[in-house]
Amino acid sequence: MAIASREGNMKAPREESALVVKLMEAIDAGRFEEADRMLPHLKTNADPLVAILEAEVNLYFCRLEPARERLAQIDPWRLGTRSLSRYLLALGQCHLEHEQWESAGELLEGACCLYKLLHARCHLARGLYYLGMTKFKRGNGEEAEALWEQAKALLIEEETARGDFALGVLEYALGARRLQTGRVEEARALLHSSVRLLDEEHGRYYASALGALGALLASCGECADAVEKLWEAQRILIRYAIGDPLVEVTTTLAAALVRIERFDEAERAVHESLDALQRLGHARGAGRMFKTLAEIYLERNDVARAENAARVTLEHAETLRDDVLRAEGQILLGRTAARRRDREAAEQALSRAREIARRLDDRKLEGLACLYWAEACYAVSPMQAQELIARAQELLRPLSDPRIEQEIERVAQRATSERIKLTPDNKLIFDGNFLPNWYVARETLERFLLKNALRQAEGNLTKAGELLGITKVHVHNLRRQFNL
């Protein structure tokens, strides 16, 4: 009995050691769901490597606080080189998730140096990916792209599951970057390859790659294909409760559905993600979902619900002290006020949004604030509207965003077409410094004259014709044309 007991005690550490190796292999190959199922079997294992691997799994599933706590329990001075490199990489990821860019960069550079010493190409590629993400998040897209290309070159001869996973993640990052800079066909090829390589992972990165591919297809007008991929991405991210990518994917999905006028589905998609984010306690993501709902309601011209969603967005922004969300909420509030023809409230909200955007040095937000301010004031201040549109074009055109381009054209065209305006209180307004289109002006003037002639003639077509010096038949035809 004693001999059997000693043999059992010797066998247990060997089994645990083998399980740790399997856990590491699963993580490196991107099989995080499998890795997550292994962790309870290692709960009593005091090996610091197990704590590091548990933190890696928690980071993947956006369980940031448990990951931070697990890493805080580790004494890095007692780690071997291989465990230390993984520790620095995980801690760098943790700082990256918390937007601590400088410390994240230092930790990730340390991890990369160790992986170079160990000649661990696949792990070095992972380190360069996260280091590139740090550069990208700080606005250094070119540096990020160079690091990702460097990492990709390391994987040329790595024909393993972990190599495929690392390459899939890198091609997703490179594809998203190519899309951002307008290299659409390169982006398309990279993202299709990424989706294929990440199919086994079928989680966070696969869904993110699908989301980026969906965004590309939507930008090319292929909305039906885009929606199919974005729905799948959303389902995966809700299932795994992965917050930040879910916000991005849902925003893109809602925009694609709105473009093909499937408003009910867009609203449903946002509410599904909103419920998931609220269960996660992801307040920032919930705020962005209310912002997206406000945009959908504006597209449906449901001004009351749009205004309510915009105010909830602002409440989240204030609670989180999120200036970007605050500016976005003010823009939405300004747009809803403009729809209610409350020019003063619209200009006040959009002025606040512009001020916040300038403080943040956010050209996109400032440009959108200027654009919608122009839309709110062109009827009474055409000169100011033209100046605002010119500023919006200066700020937004370099972004090469098809949706923003459409908004610029819409507002600019509307401002031009309504340089002559028939107001609800029966006035015809135009400014001789900004001449309207001839045909628009003629139609507006005809509508104005006919409406008032019919009013003064109490609906009598003959009398209305006499007032205008035209025949009864002409009055009848104009009334049908203008549906008066």
Specify which residues 420 forms β-bridges with.
430
Is 1 contained in some domain?
no
Is 331 contained in some domain?
no
Residue 218 CA, distance from chain mean position: 13
pLDDT class of 44 with cuts at 50, 70, 90: confident
Is 406 contained in some domain?
no
Is 464 contained in some domain?
yes
pLDDT class of 421 with cuts at 50, 70, 90: low
What range defines the domain where residue 478 resides? 438-482
Instruction: Name the token pair of 446.
Output: 């005809």
Is 418 contained in some domain?
no
- C-alpha count within 13 angstroms, C-beta hemisphere, residue 85: 19
Of 334 and 479, more confident:
334
Task: Confirm if 403 and 368 have CB atoms less than 8 A apart.
Answer: no
The number of folded domains in the chain is: 1
Cα separation, 462 vs 480, in Å, equals: 15
Is 447 contained in some domain?
yes
Task: Confirm if 420 and 446 have CB atoms less than 8 A apart.
Answer: no
Hey, how many other C-beta atoms are within 10 angstroms of the C-beta on 272? 16
Rounded average pLDDT over 436-458: 80
Cα separation, 103 vs 99, in Å, equals: 9
Quick one: pLDDT at residue 472? Answer: 87
Identify which of 8-12, 80-84, 461-465 has the greatest average pLDDT.
Answer: 80-84
Residues 6+ apart with CB under 8 A from 158: 121, 122, 125, 166, 167
Cα separation, 168 vs 477, in Å, equals: 65
Where do the H-state alpha helices sit in 321-437? Answer: 323-339, 343-360, 363-377, 382-396, 402-417
pLDDT class of 14 with cuts at 50, 70, 90: low
Cα separation, 87 vs 203, in Å, equals: 23
Residue 4 in this model has a pLDDT that exceeds 50: no
Is 452 contained in some domain?
yes
pTM of the model: 0.76
Over the stretch 81-117, which tens digit does the pLDDT of each residue have? 999 999 999 999 999 998 899 999 999 999 999 999 9
Quick one: pLDDT at residue 446? Answer: 84
Is 446 contained in some domain?
yes
Task: Confirm if 99 and 137 have CB atoms less than 8 A apart.
Answer: yes
Over the stretch 372-391, which tens digit does the pLDDT of each residue have? 999 888 766 766 787 898 99
Instruction: Name the token pair of 411.
Output: 């507002």
Cα separation, 439 vs 233, in Å, equals: 48
**Of 157, 109, 115, nearest to 132 (Cα)?**
109
Task: Confirm if 393 and 363 have CB atoms less than 8 A apart.
Answer: no
Cα separation, 265 vs 340, in Å, equals: 26
